[in-house]
Structure 1
């Protein structure tokens, strides 16, 4: 298998570690370039060229073509072994026999030798290519031709399997890129025109035919439309949107022609941000990966010098010293000690975990978060939009008779139109269209309290009862007895009354808590909503620790109290007010559908479909990934240690060395890709 290389700003090639090559082959960066405009194509060979000047990216096409060099070598090797041990023709001796084995070696050996030479030129002398090249050329030097061919043959087969394993992990992420169309149909003077998606301006209108994918985020102008949201949520269940509701890039229109007004630039869409997160995920490496990477840089030179010692030191201590015998032992030692199984399978295991999570609508921003989330002991969660739908409906309106209810509601609706909070949406749906003739001045959002504005020269307050207390508004309502969420209103320094709004618990919320407890994780709920509502929801879900009436700074204090017990904490939220606690937690988890951009960008893990059941799923994926990675580490070290001792003592042949290197690497790769087949 050929390898990719990176270049610095001056065009100088930088030799990569095997781990980096895996990430280049599997990372979304290369995939994004596949989607880039074609005018950049002439640069791609230079950016990702091999030493021979060709592009060797992730393989696309029939896997059998990848195995062709190995098949040719295998056939020539089998024929040679048949001649050597069974047919024994007179002509198959001397230079003819050597030439036959050399020809059998070249299809698999020449690419590796070129890689070794290229690495040496770039200053990376002790690479795995150098080890394999040295071992096989040395085998030829002492007349062990079949072993030399076999070692390189099996090594090449292992490299092909590595590529196939990476391609499988890559497929889950590539499917996301396929969901973002390059072109869209915009309406200009009621005439459709196809243009590049990145050139569409905000407020332009897109026409979407049945079966087409939406290219940008926007607001539905049609009365009604159904969408397949699998690109964003992982769920193909149709989602019906009504006029004025938000629709996102990647959604597929299912039935009628729909019109969408663009609200977000192409590069700022939810799907674009998701792709950027996946692209950057491979740059954040887990501690285990970083350790193995450093270990390999120290380990490989030591192995080379030990092999030299095995070859020459016995001359001073062994009476019947035979150079060929001890050189053969040293070559076996080199093959066994090649760190392929570690540097291939460990990053592949983490990338497989990221791919498995992406397939299930969970985005990890780095493999390091797979490690951290596996150790989580506490999950602290917000209520609204996390464990509840975040879709409020007004239940009742209780105003003082001294006020004109219709007039107050009209003002409240106008002020709330400035907010993206779910409660604002509920009020808008209850009241109706916003009166644009109302002059609203000095709108201010007070975090954890509500909104303050000036209408008709008088102050309007809309929020919770803490907002009333903050501005000294007197009221005689006993809020402790009301389970529903309350929206208090004051106008001209007088208490008007309140609205009650209700939110429904998500279908999978209770199952989420049960699964968290089964994983040994303690759930806690923190919310800015009134405490009676929070306690009601917590009781329904089986959460023992729940706290309401919290300001953003109160949430931070509660989280710090939990962290003080030296236990790792994950926080799950969706609102702007959750961004500080998301940043403070060991793992910040954001609900990516309803979640604010600030929270999604701050979070370490994003749940695309807002389903809380994905929280324990994410933890389980982290645990399984860590388990597989450590299985591979123990497997590689255990087998290599045993065969190394046997090889140094002359009890192992080159065939055992092949198993210790390539065989273990293949087993580790198969174990690493296993996570992509797991059902969580």
Structure 2
């Protein structure tokens, strides 16, 4: 019996509850007459009254049992309940037969409500795409459905509105709430030219955005698809329980038959109805509904909890994988560092520091190299708007040469200085980070250190991984010296630089061959092969490439390394709750099965035990959705 089938089929029939409530009312009235006034209607009136209540309470169960029976599927909870209750009617235990069906249906009612809530909470969390958008066209502003907007068109987002489509900000500046994508509600200020994603909420000013992706291709649409697909992908625990139920249920049927007939050969005063009744008790308590519903519900809750923390698991199976990971392999740029070069230290010699920066920025403004862009951004375009560079020449692999304010300026690496026979302090050669060496009028004038800033929570994340006993490894295509420096700063166990994509694959494969369970975290296109190779591939979804996000098993939406630890915690918490439910259900069932076979427990006690265990398991599974990490 597949857990997902049980959920899907059982949730189709309990949408209206008046029939069940009426059945319970009839049962309560009949029990009051029987035990309060010592009055039992004569046959066949008692059969008609109880039979009506039975059908009102259990027609859904009977229908599903029949549907499965015609497909030769007899070993399921619906068929089990039908046999047990019809058997109770056959021996005249009408009230107990109705009670078993009514309480079972109440349990299904609660199960369906819990499952629906879990599904709704996941969908509501992410499916926040607005159904209209303001498009700025030649004939004025138009309000249309986002599906009608084409790439290249311009949309307007007012304060308080949700962004409907991915795009590029055309306004100078705007602040957004990115909680739907990242799990972080703090404002994120974007500047002109930066990427804006569907699901963000504009906070304080009218924003104009040029659309870069169609509605169905937006990052939020892809996230929603990931989460919807995730609920269909089963974990190893779910698969185990599904296989277990297929074996467990026929065994229970066989044991029930043995309970009914074997005593005939050993008991002198064998009474068929007595042992048949005990077999019915055995069948009722053996119903595996608590397992097959509460377990997938626990995983739904785990996926929802992760989503609220800005982590998207593409399948519940990856929740289990993260609990077994003992090595985290990470890319450097964009994963542990921000992926954006920033000016760190400025050293000037024989020249004012601000003048050095101004001359260098004017020259670098003619370049598209990331390091040059970082220098220009540090100085500010407004500062150099009246300072222009002429006769600019790019010397491949070395740097730039040009004239600024009548002075000959060189800006590049040490090879550029050597090329023009300009002496410079030799300690510069020992600097591991990227460096811009500047010469003015053929004389060394200073240097600028440009580095990729380490993310704020990177050190905390690595420390927590070590606390969990997880080995940390960093792989990067950057210079080995830079990689070693970052690794030393963060206390990473192993680090390797100057790696091509195939080099990263070799390193990860070697770790796997040594028996390690690996999660790889990356963000670039070159990381996609390694993400696919790892036991769990994790993509940084904010700045990450589409190829890596598509390949990854887990997506971290806000690019924070600390979310890797959160993903592990969610996996372990989910697994803990699921196994609590398994142990609880099996312990109670084994106990009451023994009592039922020995004639100590009756049908009332069996159904209360079964429904009680199911409700406790459901409540325990639902609890995960409210936990704060």
Q: Shared fold (TM-score greater than 0.5)?
A: yes
For 2:13 and 2:539, the matched residues in 1 are separated by 33
Deviations 1:516-556 (A, max 9, x none): 22222222222223334333333333334333333323322
Matched, 1:74 2:24: yes
TM-score, normalised with respect to structure 1: 0.79
Q: Which of these residues, 1, 19, 26, is aligned with residue 4 of structure 2?
A: 19
CA distance 1:160–1:424, shift in 2 (3 Å): farther
Q: Secondary structure at the match of 1:412?
A: coil
Equivalent residue for 2:532? Answer: 583
In the alignment, which residue of structure 2 is the partner of 1:259?
A: 208
Farther-moved stretch of structure 1 (569-578 vs 358-367): 569-578
> Contact (CA 8 Å) 2:314, 2:553: kept in 1 or not?
yes
Instruction: Tell me the residue number matched to 1:322.
Output: 271
1:109 aligns with 2:66: no
Going from structure 1 to structure 2, the CA distance change for 1:273 and 1:572 (only over 3 Å counts) comes to: same
Residue number among 348, 369, 376 corresponding to 2:318 in the alignment: 369
Aligned 8 A contact 1:311 1:323 in 2: yes
Structure 1, unaligned stretches of length 5 or more? 1-15, 26-49, 60-64, 417-421, 434-455, 490-496
Could you list the per-position Cα deviations for residues 265-317 of structure 1 after superposition, in whole angstroms to 9, with x for gaps in the alignment? 22221111111111211232112211221222233233223323333343344
Shift of 1:636: 1.9
Q: Does 1:358 align with 2:307?
A: yes
SS in 2 for 1:126: coil
Q: Residues 488 and 334 from structure 1, CA distance in 2 versus in 1: closer, same or farther, beyond 3 angstroms?
A: farther
Structure 2: how far apart are the matches of 1:643 and 1:567?
A: 43
Q: Which residue of 2 aligns with 1:215?
A: 164
Check conservation: 2:301, 2:625, Cα contact below 8 A. Answer: yes
User: Is the Cα–Cα contact under 8 Å of residues 220 and 247 in structure 1 kept in the other structure?
Assistant: yes
> Are the aligned partners of 2:460 and 2:562 in contact in 1 as well (CA < 8 Å)?
yes
- In structure 2, the residue matched to 1:83 is 33
Distance 1:673 1:488, change over 3 A: farther
Query: Would you say the 8 A contact 1:341–1:664 is kept in 2?
Result: yes
Q: Answer whether contact 2:342 2:450 (CA < 8 A) is retained.
A: yes
Alignment of 1:50-449 (within 5 A): 56=12, 66=17, 68-89=18-39, 92-189=41-138, 191-394=140-343, 409=364, 412-413=367-368, 416=369, 426=374, 429=377
Normalising by structure 2, we get a TM-score of: 0.85
Match of 1:520 in 2: 469
Larger radius of gyration: 2
Are 1:530 and 2:479 matched, yes or no?
A: yes
In the alignment, the residues of structure 1 paired with residue 102 and residue 608 of structure 2 have an alpha-carbon distance, to the nearest angstrom, of 12
- Alpha carbons of structure 1 residues 480 and 303: separation in structure 2 relative to 1, 3 Å: farther
In 2, the alpha carbon distance for the partners of 1:479 and 1:379 equals 34
- Contact 1:172–1:359 (Cα < 8 Å) also in 2: no
Contact 2:302 2:625 in 1 (8 A): yes
Contact in 2 for aligned 1:480/1:532 (Cα 8 Å): no
1:105-128 alpha-carbon deviations (Å, 9 max, x no partner): 232211211121122233323321
User: How do 1:649-668 residues align onto structure 2 when only pairs under 5 Å count?
Assistant: 649-668=598-617
Please say if residues 410 and 431 of structure 1, whose CA atoms lie closer than 8 Å, have aligned partners that are also in contact: no
CA distance in 2, matches of 1:553, 1:498: 35
* Conserved 8 A contact 1:172-1:356: no
| Partner Cα separation in structure 2 for residue 480 and residue 337 of structure 1 | 75
C-alpha displacement of 1:623: 0.8
- Cα distance in 2 between the residues matched to 1:72 and 1:333: 28
Question: Aligned-pair distance for 1:505?
Answer: 2.4
Taking a change above 3 Å as real, the CA distance of residues 675 and 480 of structure 1, as seen in their structure-2 partners, is farther
* Shift in alpha-carbon separation, 1:606–1:427, aligned structure 2, 3 A: farther
Name the CA distance, whole Å, in 1 between partners of 2:24 and 2:432: 75
CA distance, structure 2, for counterparts of residue 58 and residue 278 of structure 1: 26
1:613: Cα distance to partner? 1.3
- Match of 2:367, SS state, is helix
- In the alignment, the residues of structure 2 paired with residue 162 and residue 85 of structure 1 have an alpha-carbon distance, to the nearest angstrom, of 31
* 2:600 is the alignment partner of 1:645: no
Task: Give the direction of change, closer, same or farther, for the CA distance of 1:564–1:408 in structure 2 (3 Å limit).
Answer: farther
Question: What is the CA distance between 1:643 and its match in structure 2?
Answer: 1.8
Secondary structure of the structure 1 residue equivalent to 2:144: strand
Where 1:523 maps in the other structure, the secondary structure is: strand
In 2, Cα distance between the equivalents of 1:173 and 1:287?
Answer: 22
Structure 2 distance, partners of 1:426, 1:280, is 41
Aligned equivalents of 2:373, 2:150: Cα separation in 1: 26
Secondary structure of the residue that 1:389 maps to in structure 2?
strand
* Secondary structure, aligned partner of 2:336: coil
Q: SS where residue 580 of structure 1 aligns?
A: helix
Shift of 1:249: 0.8
Q: In 2, Cα distance between the equivalents of 1:503 and 1:259?
A: 30
Total equivalences in the alignment: 586
Measured on the aligned residues, the alpha-carbon RMSD in Å equals 3.4
Q: Deviations over 1:76-129 (max 9, x none)?
A: 22222221112124x734333333322332322112111211222333233211
Residues 58 and 167, structure 1, Cα contact 8 Å, conserved in 2 = no
Q: Distance in 2 between matches of 1:352 and 1:389?
A: 31
For 1:499 and 1:216, the matched residues in 2 are separated by 40
Structure 2 unaligned regions, length at least 5: 349-355, 382-391, 400-412, 439-445
Give the C-alpha shift of residue 137 in structure 1: 1.3
- Of the structure 1 ranges 143-152 and 95-104, higher mean CA displacement relative to structure 2 is found in 95-104
Structure 1 residues 58, 77: CA separation in 2 closer, same or farther (over 3 Å shift)? closer
Contact 1:172-1:358 at 8 Å conserved across structures: no
Matched residue, 2:388: none
